[in-house]
Chains A and B, each alone.
Chain A
Amino acid sequence: MYQIVLIIAVLVYLLITGYLGYIAYRKTRTTTDYLLAGREVHPYIMAMSYGATFISTSAIVGFGGTAALFGMSLLWLTFLNIFVGIFLAFVFFGHRTRAMGYNLDSHTFPELLGKRYQSRFIQIFSGIIIFLFMPIYTAAVLMGATQFLVVNLKLNYEVALFTFSAIVAIYVVMGGLKGVMYTDAFQGSVMFIGMLLLLFLTYYRLGGVTSAHESLAQLNPMIVELMGKAGHRGFTHMPAFGSNIWWTVISTIVLGVGIGVLAQPQLATRFMTVRSSKELNRATLVGGIFILAMTGVAFTVGAVSNVYFYNTTGKIAFLAANKQVDSIIPMFVEQTMPVWFGILFLVTLFAAAMSTMSSQYHTIGAALSRDITETITRRKAGIGINRLGTSFGILLSTIVAWGLPRFYEAGSEIIARGTSLFFGLCASSFLPMYFGALYSKKITKSGAIAGMLAGFFSSIFWFLFVHEKESQVLGLAKALLGRPALWGEPWKVVNPIIISLPLAIAVTIVASLFTKPLDEKHVQLCFNGLEKNRN
């Protein structure tokens, strides 16, 4: 019976998604429609699309499980998600990105940077970074969703992977960004309802907010006994300053993801989809509430799930789930929630995966068709070429998700690090020149290029040789040096963003001081309307 209801729920959800994709297809006539949803998106759709793209299944299940292990210190990431990922992003990046994108008639994030600095190299190189590295991030989301399909719908892994990818592919290829954003808004709404219910049911089940937190605090000695040496001070405490866990929580989770979001191409593009700043202002309201309901709920529920697991099994969540962090949230939902909610939660997770994947597919496709092919050939392409580029991008991502674990021993582990890799690379390569593009008239073309290259290559170096979580998996350090990472603690747990981002900022500024400034008329065009009317 459960299986039948679940299948019906998934089918209804897919039908609505398909219908929205069809509407988008009917409304897509031009490249601007395809790449920027016609620049006329409603603020609710814009905010939900931004939020649903931002929050994938791994943000709920993976990071929620991590919160069950590290405790409520992860709420610092929620704070950054809302304050940096929404407030600063919309207010200080969004308005200027939209206006500058309009002034320069840019359709993609790399195109905005390339045109702003009058550099084809910047556009092509940025497009290549996206095209090469985003598929690994996409594969991480796709594989996570596929696992859920396999477990819950009892499908064969390969069948589930290709079918799921094909469903998303149809509305992305045909409907372009309108297809992506309309379905995102629906999927985001499903996620919002699912997560709010999860929060209320969890606190209700544990006797209320204060009671749940107090019971959690009583479990602190158990986790300190287990991980106290690494710096854990309890579920309701911050880790010991400077300890391994502190560095992991602060540098990789809080800063790596919290700051990295500012330079995510698929999110920055959203700012260019609205007609005026009015829509962005309204979207800020929706976005803030949405993100609180996503990571705020996931991390809180993750942490307090320990109380439930202790009461029923005598073990904390991490041990009750056999040290499988990703299993904690699904186990908690399955064991504590009513059956109908279990079904809604599964649909919520599918929605979270699909909304992130659809945007990734679209961004990879746009990078290939608009930023790489069009810029190299110097020929403007029509909507057909964009559809072709997107199809190729989807094919590539699906092949990576299917083939990397199959033909390369450490494939699964590489994909598992995909989100961290991509966020790190984007932040270090794009953020300094992106911020400079919006706020400084003094950053030169050479300065932007030098900063981008410094950020990119220093990140790659750090991932390959220093940050152990990636260097161990990638294996180059071991092959060349005979050990998994170049240096010991604390360096091996320090996220690349801590090193590469400041380096890229410094290089951008210093190189700009000694190189030729951009043409004054061009800079004036870029900043047209920005000085007088920031909002």
Chain B
Amino acid sequence: MFGLYDPSIILVYLLCIGSTLLCVIYGIVHWNRSGVEVKAEKIIQWEKEEETLEE
């Protein structure tokens, strides 16, 4: 296959392509799954703390 004859080299060649496809498929399937979001109010609270520190 692809001019390669050692099974472990053919295997790793395919694994490289396969693992990339795994990343691609995972990304597409989970495209819109959000989980726990960093909430806007928490960011605002952190920014206020920062401003106090800067002063």
B35 interface neighbour in A30, A95, A288, Cβ under 8 Å = A95
Bound-complex Cα distance A237 to B8 (A): 8
Chain B interface bracket (under 10, 10 to 19, 20 to 34, 35 or more): 35 or more
Bound-complex Cα distance A287 to B26 (A): 12
Bound-complex Cα distance A284 to B27 (A): 6
Asked if A102 and B38 sit within 8 Å, CB to CB, the answer is: yes
B26 interface neighbour in A79, A285, A533, Cβ under 8 Å = A285
Main secondary structure of the interface of B (DSSP, over half): helix
User: In the complex where A31-B50, A82-B20 touch, is A276 in contact with B36 (Cβ < 8 A)?
Assistant: yes
CB-defined interface of A208-220 with B at 8 Å, one 1/0 digit per residue?
A: 0111111011000
Bound-complex Cα distance A238 to B33 (A): 40
Q: Does A281 reach chain B (CB closer than 8 Å)? A: yes
User: In the complex where A29-B50, A210-B3, A276-B35 touch, is A292 in contact with B27 (Cβ < 8 A)?
Assistant: no
Q: Does A83 reach chain B (CB closer than 8 Å)? A: yes
Chain A interface bracket (under 10, 10 to 19, 20 to 34, 35 or more): 35 or more
Asked if B54 and A382 sit within 8 Å, CB to CB, the answer is: yes
Q: Does A91 reach chain B (CB closer than 8 Å)? A: yes
* Residues from 18 to 33 in B contacting A, C-beta threshold 8 Å: 19-24, 26-28, 30-33
Asked if B3 and A214 sit within 8 Å, CB to CB, the answer is: yes
Task: List A contacts of B4 (CB < 8 A).
Answer: 72, 213, 217, 236
Bound-complex Cα distance A31 to B54 (A): 10
Bound-complex Cα distance A211 to B3 (A): 7
Asked if A286 and B6 sit within 8 Å, CB to CB, the answer is: no
Task: List B contacts of A278 (CB < 8 A).
Answer: 30-35
Asked if B54 and A383 sit within 8 Å, CB to CB, the answer is: yes
User: In the complex where A32-B43, A82-B16, A277-B35 touch, is A282 in contact with B9 (Cβ < 8 A)?
Assistant: no
A-B contact pairs, 29 of them (CB 8 A): A29-B50, A31-B50, A39-B43, A72-B12, A73-B12, A75-B12, A76-B12, A82-B23, A87-B19, A99-B35, A99-B36, A210-B2, A213-B2, A214-B3, A216-B3, A236-B6, A236-B9, A237-B8, A275-B38, A276-B37, A281-B30, A288-B22, A291-B20, A296-B16, A383-B50, A529-B36, A533-B35, A533-B36, A534-B35
Which residues of chain B have a CB within 8 Å of any CB of chain A?
A: 2-6, 8-9, 12-13, 15-17, 19-24, 26-28, 30-38, 42-43, 46-47, 50-51, 53-54
